Amino acid sequence: MDIFEAIEQDHQEIRRLIHRLRGLEEDDRANQDKVFEELKALLLHHHEAEERTFFHALLDDEKVRHEGMHALQEHGEHKKVLEQMEDMRPGSDNWWKRFAELEHDILHHLEEEEEDIFPLARKVFSKQEADDLGTRIGQVKGGLNASS
């Protein structure tokens, strides 16, 4: 699996969890908390693994450095909103407002990566480099999962 396939696989799971959370009943706090914690853990691991592999490779190439820096900045914004949500009562109006912001930002970020960054990166990375990065992101994610 190359880096693009590995990242897209995570993106599909992130979208699925967002959709699942949105589909829960308003008073189903226990499942809301459970699904949100699963989403948060996936996002944080995905971001960390992507930063250590894909973004690192983007930053090393001047043709796609700007895109890598922009994506890295967006990750920082996602993390900040997640931290703010930790101090809120899950399921409250304020919590859902912050979640709506996070959802919008994440979905926009995923789309930007898939539609804008991936095509540029495919021109920069050889097939072998993409495959090596795919292997590396799997190793990083495995290490992150083991330390959780």
**CATH number for position 78:** 1.20.120.520
The amino acid at residue 74 is E
Average pLDDT of the chain to the nearest whole number:
93
Return the pLDDT at 97: 94
Return the pLDDT at 92: 84
CB burial string 45-79: b at 16+ within 10 A, e below? bbbbbbbbbbbebbbeeeebeebbeebbebbeebe
pLDDT band per the 50, 70, 90 thresholds, residue 142? confident
Find the domain containing 79 and state its range.
3-147
Q: Please answer whether residues 112 and 75 qualify as being in contact, where contact means their C-beta atoms are separated by less than 8 angstroms.
A: no
Tokens of 70: 């922009």
Q: Please answer whether residues 69 and 59 qualify as being in contact, where contact means their C-beta atoms are separated by less than 8 angstroms.
A: yes
Return the pLDDT at 73: 96
The tally of domains found in the chain comes to 1
pLDDT digits (tens, 9 = 90+) for 33-92: 899 999 999 999 999 999 999 999 999 999 999 999 999 999 999 999 999 998 888 878
Return the pLDDT at 110: 97
